[in-house]
Amino acid sequence: MAAPLTQFDVLAIRREFPILQQEVNGKPVAFLDSAASSQKPRAVIDCLEDYYRRYNANVHRGVYKFSEEATFAYERARGKVARFLGAASPRELVFTRNATEAVNLVAHSWGSANLRPGDHILLTLMEHHSNIVPWQMLAARTGAVLDYLSLDGEGRLVLEELDSKLNERTRLVAVTHQSNVLGTINPVQYLAERAHAVDAKLLVDGAQSVPHMPVNVRDLGCDFLVFSGHKMCGPTGIGGLWARRELLEAMPPFLGGGSMIKVVELDHSTYADVPARFEAGTPAIAEAIALGEAVDFLNTVGLEPIRQHERELLGYALERLGELAELTIYGPHDCEQRGAVISFTLQGVHPHDVAAVLDSDGVAVRAGHHCTQPLHRHLAVPATTRASFYIYNTPEEVDRLVAGLAKARKLFA
């Protein structure tokens, strides 16, 4: 069977990731869980170490050399990430711990100030819990009402429902750009147009799209976009919120404390300009700087080649997995409509057992509900096994995945 072509040297890229040089159970590691968290290239690891070895200091607070160097590197990283997302200004980018914190920031700061009893929040059945639970909490605080777009048989949004679910009471539409289970890539530009037609805002969960394809917030037409650094070759503990500047400037702070103020009196305070208003306390300095390094790495490889490589690898994987008669794959069949995430069930074998058998052969996958319990209830399965691909994965690893699944089926037959 022909292996997919690629626009870059995957083996050369793999050499940039020290962890991929290891063996697991005496076999070369095949890491197929990048949808949960990607591996880190040497440049990112070295960047973290360089900060702590050479210029570890707090930012925005000192006039001495270490602090000035740290501040410069921190704000330079903000500029890199903002450009990576197509933002009009670095001031539109707020550093957060991850996408989850960014959603909560919007829910508390924008949502609490703008939603009233009876207002509508429109979500979808494929959302990660991070894009459901904060809105449930907001609805409980404000009296707003949640509604959900349903899915068709291939795991795509039923867009015809927008005619009945979008109305003058809709204040927010929150949707994942790419499902972390189905791989479905949603038509964000169209959703932005429909949301804005009823004067609603659109929040996009970009955790699964920003690392894998070109994402330009101005082209998408969204109002908010959240992402996590650890899924895009960066460190854990850093992510971000992009929002239209006029929205950020109208939003009250999420957290109070140092760094987010202008003047503190005994009975009141005035707040800093954006984005500092939303970055209370000492930030994740090393992590932000290293996220900028990760963006440099991804730009060097190229987002278009990454997307093309993953599309070809996905096509190969779907073809090979299709050889297993007792395997059910969830999500769109068309590689143009999905990202490089494949969730499946193997008849008669629990997903955790599948994952354990694969691990014995050095193949790392994820098993469970993937923080999407409503989606799994819709699919009528308690859990799935998920294989997800990134820039360092190869067709040979797909072959090892298929061989491991055949082994699991034989063991549990």
- Which residues are tagged catalytic? 371
CA distances from 77 to 231, 234, 360, 376 (A): 17, 12, 40, 38
**Could you identify the residue written with the tokens 């740290």?**
70
**For residues 201 and 384, what is the distance between their CA atoms, to the nearest angstrom?**
33
Dihedral angle, C-alpha 392, 393, 395, 397, nearest 10 °: 130
Sequence-separated (6 or more) residues with CB below 8 Å from residue 98: 228, 229, 230, 236, 237, 238, 239
Helix ranges (H only) for 254-342 are: 285-301, 303-321
For helices 42-54 and 65-85, angle between their N-to-C axes, nearest 10 degrees: 150
Q: Which residue has the tokens 């001495």?
A: 64
3-state helix, strand, coil in the chain (%, to 5): 45, 20, 40
The secondary structure of 50-90, three-state, reads HHHHHCCCCCCCCCCHHHHHHHHHHHHHHHHHHHHHCCCCH
Give the integer Cα–Cα distance in Å for 145 and 189.
24
Helix (H, G, I), strand (E, B), or coil: what is residue 94? strand
Q: 412: Cβ–Cβ under 8 A, 6 or more apart, which residues?
A: 348, 349, 353
The sign one gets for the Cα dihedral 389, 298, 82, 312 is negative
Amino acid, single-letter form, for residue 29: V
Neighbours of 291 (CB within 10 A): 31
